[in-house]
Amino acid sequence: MPQVQQVTAVGSIALDTLNTPFGRVEDALGGSISYIGAVGGLFAPINIVAVVGDDFPMDEYDFLRDRNVNLEGLEVAPGETFRWEARYHDNMNIRDTISTELGVFEGFQPMLPQAAREARYLLLANIHPSLQLDVLEQMHDPRLVAFDTMNLWINNARDEVEAVINKVDLVIVNDEEIALLTGEQSPLAGALELTKMGPRYVVVKKGEHGAVLVSHDDLPFLCPAFPIANPKDPTGAGDTFAGAMVAYLAAVDDIGTFSLRRAMVYGTIAASFTVEDFGLSRLKSLTTGEIEERYRHFRSMVEF
Amino acid sequence: MPQVQQVTAVGSIALDTLNTPFGRVEDALGGSISYIGAVGGLFAPINIVAVVGDDFPMDEYDFLRDRNVNLEGLEVAPGETFRWEARYHDNMNIRDTISTELGVFEGFQPMLPQAAREARYLLLANIHPSLQLDVLEQMHDPRLVAFDTMNLWINNARDEVEAVINKVDLVIVNDEEIALLTGEQSPLAGALELTKMGPRYVVVKKGEHGAVLVSHDDLPFLCPAFPIANPKDPTGAGDTFAGAMVAYLAAVDDIGTFSLRRAMVYGTIAASFTVEDFGLSRLKSLTTGEIEERYRHFRSMVEF
């Protein structure tokens, strides 16, 4: 059996106000790191690196401590926690941002504790690419570095985004981001283009349509999404996908083709739980048994 | 070995003028039946039932005769063949219809020759639902009836569409049509709803995102699309999907779960060839060897 490795995840923590056709929640625990910690911790130990304000309801994070998540790298800074409000359309693939108040996140300077620096698996969630470069320099010798970003940075800090991409192993982006990055309309063509910029692997997330893994040296892997008939809130689906994917790789400590493929399947399954309820609600009670059950279902739904 | 069964396919034949970001063709062979015949004939004998005008360039259909397609049910009526012009956006999932001239298709009254009536597999391609009902009455004893339609009929002849749906075994629709038919935003929820209206199986086509098979009594089948990095023209992809799917079922003469699933995989592979070039261009030279090669590739791209 391989030894389970640690993951370091650097990103944002926010208090989200979410409006979907199925309801509204206010100041719910959110930000990429909340989702990554909640699901990743079910697979492998996660060192989170993020900042919150001194108004942050820290007791709501208690369930993370019980779940293999090391909060040592969680900085509490004087000021307000990052707040974000969004409204989803009836077609929940479309959402409008209503307000963004960065609070203490604006001055975030990731400082990695020793354990975080020594982790073999690093997930650079969506933060400014210059901070991502800074984190990379603090790491000792990661075996796999995974990377997420957003349109804002691709448009406003393109050179730095490209500098990070050049240094990472696995890029996890959605189809819009890949079109912006490469100018290719076809996600597959865009992903192939992106592998020429440095990373060995590119995962294109397509939301309810699943994800595709593209690499230099292998056929693509076509991963459908685990179907959920009545999703309530898509927030965090992409983050849980990435979190479960990287944490699974750390758990098996392998980045071969089939481990990467299985990691994606666990990613889509983690995301399927996320969208079933608002914010982190479903993930709080999620068990590894439930994940494994859905994994078996997924296999039955793709056999032919 | 099962005996290969015959397919009857009823639908439209048109001369298409197609504008995509990759070029333009004028008066190219099109309409559902051209696509269904071209690809279905590689799997099983196809009896086509359609109408063309006396201006139709019949010699362009010679390749169908060499491909197991029985043209006995092809009526040549005095007047003009159905003509359609469309322009695709840079995102080829969106297209505008520029003109529609129904010509002889407007007075189409399907009359099935004896062989067509006796076929065990029937594909009702997109025509007015009252004509589909009429075809159903002419059939002797089909084992499987598959059905396609379009938004126009769902909006304008809803009762008749529902009457046909009630009599068929397999509904093949896209996500927009299923939302219109059932009022469900989620294709999966919509498909489950549709199985309550009569048909045992519902296939939701999602274009480049693949397709999903839903039934009363089984888990869904999640079928990704065979990826094509640089599609040139999406016209006919849905028709080739349906044509290959039904013709494969006729070839194995089985409608069990795994035959249905494999039929969908052949459907997405047939569609992947269609979009590689304009109109029927790629399908004219297509061989069963090429289809089987892509089927093996597909298996490698979904294993995990």
Interface test with B, best of A193, A222, A260, A303 (most B CBs within 10 A): A222
CB contact under 8 A, B185 and A90: yes
Res B30: pLDDT: 98
Separation CA A193–CA A245 (nearest Å): 22
Q: Is residue B1 scored above 70 in pLDDT?
A: no
Q: What is the DSSP annotation of A162-214?
A: HHHHHH-SEEEEEHHHHHHHH--SSHHHHHHHHHTTS-SEEEEE-GGG-EEEE
Nearest CA in chain A to B179: A91
For A103, half-sphere exposure in the C-beta direction (CA atoms, 13 angstrom radius) is 23
Report ipTM (2 d.p.).
Answer: 0.92
Provide mean pLDDT across the span A64-73. 94
Determine contact, residues A284/A37, Cβ cutoff 8 Å: no
Q: Which residues of A78-158 form beta strands (DSSP E)?
A: 82-88, 95-101, 121-124, 144-147
Greater pLDDT, B70 or A229? B70
- Residue A230's pLDDT is what? 86
pLDDT tens for each residue of A84-102:
999 999 889 899 999 999 9
Span A132-167, pLDDT tens digits? 999 999 999 999 999 999 999 999 999 999 999 999
For every residue of B116-182, DSSP letters joined together read: HHH-SEEEE-SS-HHHHHHHHHH-S--SEEEE---HHHHHHSHHHHHHHHHH-SEEEEEHHHHHHHH
- Write out the E strands in B167-224: 170-174, 201-205, 211-215, 221-223
Q: Is the pLDDT of residue B54 over 80?
A: yes
Residues of B in contact with A304 (CB under 8 A): 221, 223, 258, 261-262, 264-265
In this complex, do A210 and B224 lie within 8 Å of one another by their Cβ atoms?
Answer: yes
Q: Confidence band (pLDDT; 50, 70, 90) for B4?
A: very high
Partner residues linked to A121 by β-bridges: A7, A144
pLDDT in tens, A10-47: 999 999 999 999 999 999 999 999 999 999 999 999 99
**Consecutive H or E run containing A73:** strand A69-77
Average pLDDT of the segment spanning A257-262: 97
- Matching residue, tokens 């996500």: B175
pLDDT > 80? residue A213: yes
B134-168 per-residue burial string, b: 16 or more CB within 10 A, e: under 16: bbbebbeebebbbbbbbeebbeebeebbebbbeeb
| Res A70: pLDDT | 97
H/E run at residue A252: helix A237-252
Average pLDDT of the residues of chain B: 96
Q: Is the pLDDT of residue A197 over 80?
A: yes
Which residues of chain B are at the A interface, by a Cβ-Cβ cutoff of 8 Å? 90-92, 185-186, 188-189, 192, 206, 209-210, 212, 219-225, 227-231, 258, 261-262, 264-265, 297, 300-304
Q: Is the pLDDT of residue A1 over 70?
A: no
Which one, of B42, B48, B30, B207, lies nearest residue B123 by Cα? B48
| Span B86-126, pLDDT tens digits | 999 988 989 999 999 999 999 999 999 999 999 999 999 99
pLDDT of residue A253: 98
Residue B217 reports pLDDT greater than 90: no
- Residue A186: the pLDDT is 85
Q: What is the pLDDT of residue A2?
A: 76
CA distance A155 to B278: 35
Q: Are A12 and A32 in contact (CB under 8 A)?
A: yes
Helix (H) or strand (E) holding B10: strand B7-10
Which among B209, B222, B303 is the nearest to A206, CB-wise? B209
The amino acid at residue A12 is S
pLDDT at A229: 86
Average pLDDT over residues A73-78: 98
Q: What is the distance in angstroms between the Cα of A304 and the nearest Cα belonging to chain B?
A: 6
**Which of B174, B214, B222 best tests the A interface by mutation, with the highest count of A CBs <10 A?**
B222
Contacts of A258 in chain B (CB under 8 A): 303-304
CB B154 within 8 A of CB B126: no
The two three-digit tokens of residue A214, written as one number: 């593209």
Cα–Cα distance for residue pair A18/A88, rounded to 1 Å: 8
From the list B209, B221, B229, which residue is nearest A186 (CB)?
B229
For residue A268, what pLDDT is reported? 98
Q: How far is A130 from chain B (nearest CA, A)?
A: 32
Pairwise CA distance, residues B295 & B287, whole Å:
13
E strand or H helix that includes residue B293: helix B288-302
Query: Does residue A286 surpass a pLDDT of 70?
Result: yes
- B153 phi and psi angles, rounded to 5 deg: -75, -35
pLDDT tens, residue by residue, B181-211: 999 888 888 999 999 999 999 999 999 999 9
> What pLDDT does residue A290 have?
98
Report the alpha-carbon distance of residue A221 to residue B104 in Å, rounded. Answer: 46
Exposed (0-12), middle (13-18) or buried (19+): which is A101, by Cβ within 10 Å?
middle
Residue in chain A lying closest to B176 (CA): A91
pLDDT for residue B236? 97
Token reading at B146: 């598959």
pLDDT computed for residue A216 by the predictor: 83
